[in-house]
Structure 1
Amino acid sequence: MGDLKDPRLMYLKAALFLVAGCASVTGILVEFPSVRVAALLGIGIWSFCRLYYFAFYVIEKYIDPSYKFAGLGSFIAYLFRKKLR
């Protein structure tokens, strides 16, 4: 399967991620309705988003301009290569 090229399909993919994320959070909060669970979900989601931003944007733009990301597996391999040097 090749890379997406059509911007409409990219927007559709983003919308589907949004729907899946909202449905998951809603399902968890329906199952365990509490402010504490909502806060923990919010903190967890925000933290993973920041990690994703760091893994791809910060490393490529500020730490190592030669690094070109291809996914989370690529990032993990990059970390191991850097650690071994």
Structure 2
Amino acid sequence: MANLKDPRWIWFKGGLFVVTGVLASLVLIANSPSVQTIVLLAVAIWSFCRAYYFAFYVIERCVDPKSVDARVRGCCRPSVCCGQ
């Protein structure tokens, strides 16, 4: 599969991520409409955003610019994720 290079498709893909996230959040809240669910969902979203920021910005800018790709790829190997 080729990399996306057309800005219109990149924006469309980003929009699909937003739509998917909003729909999943609405379904979750509809299945369990409580303040606790909404707060926990907001905390989970915020935490994952901060983890993403840490993995791709803080490590690259503040720790070691060369280590980001290796660490992220290393964490995503099936043997690491599956506990083998």
- 3-state DSSP class of the match of 1:69? helix
Within 5 Å, give how 1:1-85 maps onto structure 2: 1-69=1-69, 73-74=72-73, 76=75
CA distance in 1, matches of 2:51, 2:16: 21
Are the aligned partners of 1:55 and 1:75 in contact in 2 as well (CA < 8 Å)? no
CA distance in 1, matches of 2:65, 2:42: 31
Counterparts in 2 of 1:25 and 1:73: CA distance versus 1, 3 Å: same
Counterparts in 2 of 1:75 and 1:41: CA distance versus 1, 3 Å: farther
User: How many pairs were matched up?
Assistant: 76
CA distance in 2, matches of 1:15, 1:49: 17
CA positional deviation for 1:67: 3.0
CA positional deviation for 1:40: 0.1
CA distance in 2, matches of 1:11, 1:51: 23
TM-score by length of 1: 0.80
CA positional deviation for 1:2: 1.7
Q: RMSD in angstroms over aligned alpha carbons?
A: 2.0
The gaps in structure 2 that reach 5 residues or longer are: 77-84
TM-score by length of 2: 0.81
Which amino acid letter does the alignment assign opposite residue 43 of structure 1? V
Percent identical pairs in the alignment equals 45
CA positional deviation for 1:68: 4.8
Are the aligned partners of 2:59 and 2:65 in contact in 1 as well (CA < 8 Å)? yes
